[in-house]
Each structure stands twice: as C-alpha cells, then as structure tokens.
Amino acid sequence: MVTAPLAEMPRLRSGPGDWLRAYVVMTRWTVASLRLFIPLLVVIEILTGVGFVLGFGLFFHGPAPSRSVLYISTGVPIITLYVVGLIFLPQVVAQERLAHTYDYVQSMAAPRSTRFAAWYSLNLVAGVFGMIASLVAASLRYGVDLRVTPAVVPATLLICLASSALGFAIGHAVSLPMLTNILSQVLNFFVIGFSPVCFPPDQMPAWLVSVNQGLPFASMSIVMRSAIGGVPVSGVAGAYAVLAAWTGASLLVAVAAVMRRS
Amino acid sequence: MDGSPGPDSGRPVGTSPGDGAMTAGMDDPERADRWSLTVTDLRKVYRRGVVANDGISLRVDPGEVYGLLGPNGAGKTTLVKQVIGLLKPTSGSIRLGPHDLVARPSVARQLCSFLPQAQLPIDALHADEAIELTGLIRGGDAASVRRRTGELIDALELGTWRRTLGTRLSGGVRRLVGFAMVTVCPGAVVILDEPTNDVDPLRRRLLWDEIRRVAGGGAAVVLVTHNVLEAEKAVDRLAIVDHGRLLAEGTPSSFKVESRDQLRLHVMLRPGAGDPEMPPFVLRSARTGNNLVAVIAEADAGTAIGWARTLVDEGIAEEYALGATTLEDAYIALTGRASLDDVNGEV
C-alpha cells in the first residue's frame, strides 16, 4: 500500500545537531556523486604525489642537492593537498553550470555550508592519501630524513581548508564555466612553476618573491616545511597568519557567492 | 488571432483564489490557511531591464495541484525560482504560511521541493540511492525514507532500474527518478517544472497518480508546464502566464465557459503548406507547425467541415477533426499562440 507522503508539517531544521546530520548526508551525496571519478582522483593523487617527487629529481644530473630534496619532499605534499579543493572542486561546480544542474544543487534542503564541509572532508582524505604517497616516494627515492611533528596536523588541516575555500569561492563566484576552468588551471601552473613551494625563493626573481609573499602558496610551503622538514624554518607564525587570512577571505567570498540571488 | 478573457473565462486576476479546488488536503481550513503559498504583486526585472514577472499575485492551497501555464519565456520558471529562493524578487512578497520566503531563502529550500526543468545530477548515483539520499537531505528519517523510496519505485514502475546508475538511465526514466527524489520527502510546497518531459504515456499516468497522492498528503503542488492538455487533465486550478503577467486564473472548466457553444476544428496541414486564408466563420485560429486549430461556432459546423474537406481536396491539408473546445482554445485566445506541444499529444 502506498502511503500519503506528507503527514504533518515539516520541522524547520536548525542548530548544530541538524547541521551535523545534514553534513553527514551531504558527504555521502558528494562521495556518491563522484563515484565515477574516484578512481581518477586516486590516479591524480598518486601521479601528483609520486610522479612529481620522482619527476623533479630528473632536473638534476646526478644526486639532487639536499636543499632541493628538502623543498621537493615538503613541497609536493602541498600540491597533493590542494589539487582536489583548488583544481577539481571549481571544475565540478563549472560542470554543474554547464549541465544545468547548478540550480538544483543550490536548491537542496541542506545548509550550503554542509556542501563546503563535505568537499573539505573529501579534499582532506584524498590529499592526505596523496601526501603519504609522496612522502614515501621521497623517502625511498632520496633517502631524505623527514621529521614529522604534531604541527603537521594543523598545517595539513589549514592548507586543505585554504585551498578548498579558495576553490569553492572560485567555483561559485565565477559564473562562466570556461573561465573557472582556465582560472583553476592557471593557479595550478602558477603554484608549480612560479611559487616557492618545490624550490627555494632565492632561486626566483625578487619581484616574483614579492608577489608570492601576498599569496597563500609560499605560506603553505613554510608551514609544511616547518612541520615535517626537520630543519628550522623562519616566518612560521606569519605564514599561518597569511593562510588564515586567505582562508577567511575566501570563505567570505564563497559565502557571498553561494548566497547570491541575482 | 488573439483575444482577452471574458468575464467567465477563468477567474479575473486579482480576486481571491481558492474556490472550486477543494481536494483532500484542504478539508481542514486551519491547516489550509497555515500552508498556503501566497505570492503578492511579484515583480522581477533582470539587470538588463528585462521584465520577467510583472505584478503576479496568486495563492496555492495545500492539497491543490496548481498549474502555471504559458509559452516559453512567459516568466514561469523565473516565478518558481523566486519561490525556492534562487532568485530575489525586485519587489513583492512570497509567503508560505507564517514564513516570508523572500527574506528567508534557506527556509524556502527546506519547505519547498523543487524539480527543475533540467535533469538532476545523478550520473553516478543508483536510482534508489539518489531517491533515498535526497529524502535524508530533506530531513526525513531513514526508515520512512527507505519505505517511501520503495513505494515510489513500485508506484512509478521503476523496479527494473532500481540499482542502475543515472548515467545509464533513459531521459524519461531519469525524469521519473528525479520526480521521486523531489517527492520522497516532499515539502509543504512541491514545485514541478515540466515533470513529464521525456516520460512515456504509460508512466505519465503513473506520475499523475503520484502527483495527486502528494497533493492528497497536504502539499501544495505547483505544476509548471507549457503543455495545455496536460494542465487541463491534471490540475485543480491554473493560471495562464504570458509576458510576465498573470492573464487569467481559474479551474480548467471555468476557462471553457466562454466557448461552450463553440467547436474546435483541427486541420493537419500538408508539410510546407502556407497558411490558408481564414473564412469569416472562424472566430480565432492558431498554427503550430503543421497543426492548424480554428475555433468556430457550433452552428457553423457543417460549413467548417466543407471548408476543411476543400483544403484536403486541394492538397493543402492531409486530414481534419472536429471536436469540443479545450483549454487549448482558451489558451490561444489569451496568448494568441497555440501550445508548443503536439495537439494530439497524450497526458
């Protein structure tokens, strides 16, 4: 027998308990929606983590200098930590716009913050997987002596949060899908090629160092190197502050974009 | 041809709605009052000055299936997107019981279920999984959602595709899964934008049964369509919208009062044929593709058949049919256009 679907007035949901429940369901929805892409994500994380660690070594004739090894070993994990949030996430949002499913997703009954939280969780899990792969590869390839300290936890959480927030902001604030895709790719190339993440800043032109000082990627490098590099690193507190500021600003933009009603 | 609504052609816009639409969910007047969706003087002007909604007022009561009928670009989708909180009105109000949905779009999302015109994002989800997860996202408890999911799959005859990924579903089946997602745990208002797109005639009937059941459960169902035949058979009341304005509102029968002594002559023109000259006894006409629909007085039936037969004999038309007027004729009178669907289409 088919029952009447609406027996009583729906209860308006609010408060932490309802938010947590919505977050769990939205995480299930997000993971299930990406089911077809999860093998691809695993490949991306392995290729990014292991591939870059091995690939950067090819730049050197003979053994890589220890300073370069340190930067490669502590820099590549950052790429694995941001790739889902900063690159993949905005492209998924862009795809929703192209497929005309964006309105439906925006109309879903769960708080929109739970969607961000679900993406953040996914970014974190995938990123940590890639990070571990890259550290193992670095250890085997270069025999680097990394010292993982408890600071790796806040560093990882914050790097992931900053990249997810930035990716979420780009995805929702830029309404042209093509532009979103270009922007996320440009950011990726910028980080790999023009940010002091996988190589020291003193190998870059001074003006590019100055540009990077206002961006979050050099700060990601500093906090991660200080957490696992086993060497003293200066400017750690400032780097955390820059990352926190970027996270906050990105979240503000994301909130404004996702709540925007034209 | 165009015309304007007569005094009995639907309810004149601006008077209080609700008469003639008593359904199961409206038995309790207090409940009806609490759950009515009330749109008042809604105006939406887009940034470039395009007026999408121009002073629309309407009310949809619980238990009622209310049709929003109009051609593409009439402003129907803009209207429902404002109800669900995706667009902000330029002016006017939208209330659901005690809630101001314009001021609180997050409440609108909780209280309204929305099936958009486009397909839902379920490529990687199994059909039953998509329905269940949506029910949970809408706040349903796991046991009830699972039970309702099973019921909907049975009621819509989707059992064959229960564990099929969305990407492997046909357009029509995917549409039905989308409908089940929206109604597994329906809000106080259920908005269905062209729900029968791509759905085969057999399952359309099942879909309408289920829509009626959702309304019977107390939801106010807003059906957006440009399919006049569908609207005529499926809704309790309807509004005809064009150019952002609500032209008329009433029960399907009330729209046909004016044309009780009239008949519709449907002529299937030969492909490529030009518009035949309309004889004076044709009260109004409209052409969509090769379908020519003319409204005539009952007394002119014999003459009209003779005229249609001449068109066939001259090779201008392939066939013709004479029948009672339908809502389509009122629609033509109001908008000056025929419905975009095949006039022989089936609900």
B321-347 per-position pLDDT tens digit: 998 877 777 777 777 766 644 443 332
Domain boundary among B229, B255, B281: B255
Question: Taking residues A14-30, what's their average pLDDT?
Answer: 93
Q: Chain B partners of A262 at a C-beta cutoff of 8 Å?
A: 46-47, 87-88
Residue B31's pLDDT band, with cuts at 50, 70 and 90, is very low
Instruction: Give yes or no for a contact between B334 and B247, defined as CB atoms under 8 angstroms apart.
Output: yes
- The answer, yes or no, to whether residue A37 has pLDDT greater than 80, is yes
Which residue has tokens 């209860």?
A: A11
Residue B3 lies in a domain: no
pTM for the structure as a whole: 0.82
**ipTM rounded to 2 decimals:** 0.86
The pLDDT score that the predictor gives to residue A10 is 61
Rounded CA separation A223/A139 (Å): 20
Q: Dig out the tokens for B330 from the structure.
A: 């009122």
Our count of domains for chain B comes to 2
Domain of B155, CATH number, reads 3.40.50.300
Instruction: Give yes or no for a contact between B191 and B117, defined as CB atoms under 8 angstroms apart.
Output: no
Domain boundary among B255, B282, B298: B255
Residue B342 lies in a domain: no
Q: Dig out the tokens for A147 from the structure.
A: 């010292």
Rounded CA separation A29/B181 (Å): 13
Side chain identity, residue A232: P
Dihedral over Cα of B141, B143, B144, B149: its sign = positive
Chain B stretch 122-151, residues whose beta carbon is closer than 8 A to a beta carbon of chain A: 122-125, 129, 133, 136-139, 147-148, 151
Q: How far is CA B175 from CA A159, B118, B180, B225, in A?
A: 40, 9, 9, 15
Q: Which of B116, B139, B213 sits opposite A5 (nearest CB)?
A: B213
Looking at per-residue pLDDT, the higher value among A119 and B14 belongs to: A119
Residue B346 lies in a domain: no
Contact A9 B35 (CB under 8 A): yes
Query: pLDDT tens digits, residue range A70-115?
Result: 999 999 999 999 999 999 999 999 999 999 999 999 999 999 999 9
- Do B85 and B50 reside in the same domain of the chain? yes
Domain around B249: 24-255
The phi-psi region of residue A44 (left if phi > 0; otherwise alpha if psi is between -120 and 50; otherwise beta) is alpha
- Residue B95, strand partner residues: B38, B100
Mutate to test the interface with A, among B133, B145, B181, B191 (most CBs of A within 10 A): B133
Residue B341 lies in a domain: no
Question: Which residue in B258, B278, B256, B257 sits closest to B267, CA to CA?
Answer: B278
Query: pLDDT tens digits, residue range B118-132?
Result: 889 999 999 999 999
The pLDDT score that the predictor gives to residue B5 is 35
Residue B1 lies in a domain: no
Instruction: Give yes or no for a contact between B125 and B133, defined as CB atoms under 8 angstroms apart.
Output: yes
Residue B8 lies in a domain: no
Query: Which of A41-50, A67-76, B108-117, B145-154 has the least mean pLDDT?
Result: A41-50
Contact A104 B110 (CB under 8 A): no
What is the share, in percent, of chain B residues with pLDDT greater than 70? 86
- The answer, yes or no, to whether residue A7 has pLDDT greater than 70, is no
Instruction: Give yes or no for a contact between B220 and B60, defined as CB atoms under 8 angstroms apart.
Output: yes
Domain of B270, CATH number, reads 3.30.70
The pLDDT score that the predictor gives to residue A134 is 94
- Do B132 and B268 reside in the same domain of the chain? no
Question: Taking residues A48-76, what's their average pLDDT?
Answer: 89
- Do B169 and B126 reside in the same domain of the chain? yes
Query: pLDDT tens digits, residue range B160-176?
Result: 999 999 999 999 999 99
Rounded CA separation B97/B160 (Å): 40
Q: How far is CA B118 from CA A96, B71, B328, in A?
A: 11, 17, 25
CA distance to partner chain B, nearest, from residue A41 (Å): 15
What is the share, in percent, of chain B residues with pLDDT greater than 90? 59
Domain boundary among B239, B255, B271: B255
> How many CB atoms sit inside 10 A of residue B26's CB?
21
Residue B307 lies in a domain: yes
- Do B148 and B210 reside in the same domain of the chain? yes
Residue A174's pLDDT band, with cuts at 50, 70 and 90, is very high
Rounded CA separation A235/A205 (Å): 20
Q: Dig out the tokens for A18 from the structure.
A: 């309802």
> How many CB atoms sit inside 10 A of residue A48's CB?
26
End-to-end CA distance of chain B: 26
- Do B185 and B127 reside in the same domain of the chain? yes
